[in-house]
């Protein structure tokens, strides 16, 4: 049975089955699944983790909250786990390629600032966002695994690229697709190049998802996506990926090597209509994204890497 649902922000969400509840969308969509006495939360993160966990436990009743599923190891998808673990014993699930980041409180910091000189202040900010400590991943997931929540079954789809262990989850009975950040909302495209650690895998993941025909898509951020919008949403990201690659090739020339920083800055100038100046989600993530695209183009035989982070076209 499908019903209308009202989330905490008062936004009406249509076509959600009665066993799924959108608990929060500030800034991450936190989903609660309840079936046959059991409950699971997908991507527990709140600006106020204490309040978020309180609301989660209340919403789960009378079902027993047993599971927390992490779609990928970015703080805004698992940062509520320590607060949740302090209140109730749950089994934490994540893909094997991302589990180590959730368990190591410094891992995400090291990954985000891989291209910049880290500072103690930046470390403290990110550690706080990640919940202040690492948590044990009790079950590692792989592509094709099944997760049972009462009578409901979710299948794991490995969609590497945004992180190495990014996953989507599909309820094949009702054809519901939880996508995490693969892809992130198309509304973000004017102000952000994105965050990729593996551009080739991300592109392959988009192609994989384009072949799935869900009735409803439940993303990690932004609005719920209806079936008739899904094809356009995926196509927009595939097209944007190709535009980014073409822009890079236009920046480079055959005679001299261009440093990564210059490629990144020109990409921001040429591709973005607006500029997101957020310290965590802008310059540092664009380093990773553009570097990942350069590596893909290098493997495609379209560019050549010189010494250091510099490339030229072939």
Average pLDDT, the chain: 89
Q: Tell me the domain boundaries of the chain.
A: 2-238, 244-313
Two tokens, residue 20:
């799924």
pLDDT surpassing 60 at residue 13: no
Residue 7 confidence class, pLDDT cut points 50, 70, 90: very low
Q: pLDDT tens digit string along 94-112? A: 999 999 999 997 777 777 6
Closest Cα partner for 286 from 254, 249, 251, 244? 244
Q: What size, in residues, is the chain?
A: 314
- What's the pLDDT score for residue 9? 39
DSSP 135: -
Among 220, 187, 216, which Cα is nearest to 76's?
A: 220
CA–CA separation, 78 and 72 (whole Å) = 8
pLDDT bin (cut points 50, 70, 90) of residue 163 is: very high
Tokens representing residue 282 in the block: 């802008």
* Through-space distance between the first and last CA atoms of the chain, rounded to whole angstroms: 56
Q: What is the pLDDT of residue 12?
A: 41
Q: Give the mean model confidence (pLDDT) for residues 192-209.
A: 95
H or E stretch covering 50: helix 49-60
Q: What is the pLDDT of residues 48-105, one digit of tens each?
A: 999 999 999 999 999 999 999 999 999 999 999 999 999 999 999 999 999 999 999 7
Tokens coding 7:
């989330």
Percentage of residues in the chain with pLDDT exceeding 70? 90
Task: Confirm if 127 and 107 have CB atoms less than 8 A apart.
Answer: no
Q: What is the pLDDT of residue 116?
A: 64
Indicate the fold that domain 2-238 takes in CATH: Metallo-beta-lactamase; Chain A (3.60.15)
Residues 19-45 have pLDDT tens digits of 999 999 989 999 999 999 999 999 999
Q: What's the confidence (pLDDT) of residue 117?
A: 65
pLDDT in tens, 249-288: 999 987 899 999 999 999 999 999 887 766 555 677 888 8
Q: What does the pLDDT read at residue 173?
A: 94
Buried-state track 292-304, b at ≥16 Cβ within 10 A, e below 16: bbbbbbeeeebbe
According to CATH, the topology of domain 244-313 is Arc Repressor Mutant, subunit A (1.10.10)
pTM: 0.91
pLDDT band per the 50, 70, 90 thresholds, residue 11: very low
Concatenated DSSP letters of 271-303: H-SS----TTTTHHHHHHHHHHHHHHHHHTTSE
């Amino acid at each position: 049975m499908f019903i209308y649902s009202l989330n905490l922000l008062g936004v009406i969400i249509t076509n959600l089955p009665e066993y799924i509840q959108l608990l929060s969308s500030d800034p991450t969509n936190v989903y609660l699944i309840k079936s046959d006495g059991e409950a699971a939360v997908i991507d527990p993160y709140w600006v106020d983790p204490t309040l978020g966990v309180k609301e989660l436990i209340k919403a789960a009743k009378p079902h027993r909250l047993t599971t927390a599923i992490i779609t990928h190891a970015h703080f805004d998808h698992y940062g509520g786990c320590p607060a949740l673990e302090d209140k109730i014993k749950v089994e934490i699930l994540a893909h094997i390629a991302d589990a180590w980041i959730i368990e190591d409180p410094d891992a995400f910091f090291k990954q985000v600032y891989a291209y910049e000189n880290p500072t103690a202040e930046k470390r403290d900010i990110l550690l706080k966002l990640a919940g202040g400590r690492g948590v044990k991943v009790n079950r590692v997931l792989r592509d094709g695994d099944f997760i049972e929540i009462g009578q409901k079954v979710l299948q794991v789809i490995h969609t590497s690229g945004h992180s190495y262990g990014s996953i989507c989850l599909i309820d094949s009975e009702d054809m519901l697709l939880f996508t995490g950040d693969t892809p992130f909302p198309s509304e973000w495209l004017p102000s952000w190049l994105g965050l990729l650690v593996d551009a080739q895998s991300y592109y392959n993941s988009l192609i994989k998802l384009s072949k799935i025909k869900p009735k409803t898509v439940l993303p990690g951020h932004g609005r719920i996506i209806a079936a008739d919008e899904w094809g356009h949403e995926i196509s927009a990201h595939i097209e944007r990926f190709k535009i980014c690659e073409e822009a890079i090739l236009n920046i480079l020339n055959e005679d001299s090597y261009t440093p990564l920083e210059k490629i990144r800055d020109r990409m921001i100038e040429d591709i973005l209509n607006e500029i997101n100046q957020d310290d965590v989600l802008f310059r540092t993530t664009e380093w990773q994204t553009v570097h990942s695209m350069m590596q893909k183009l290098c493997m495609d035989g379209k560019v050549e890497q010189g010494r250091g982070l510099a490339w030229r076209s072939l």
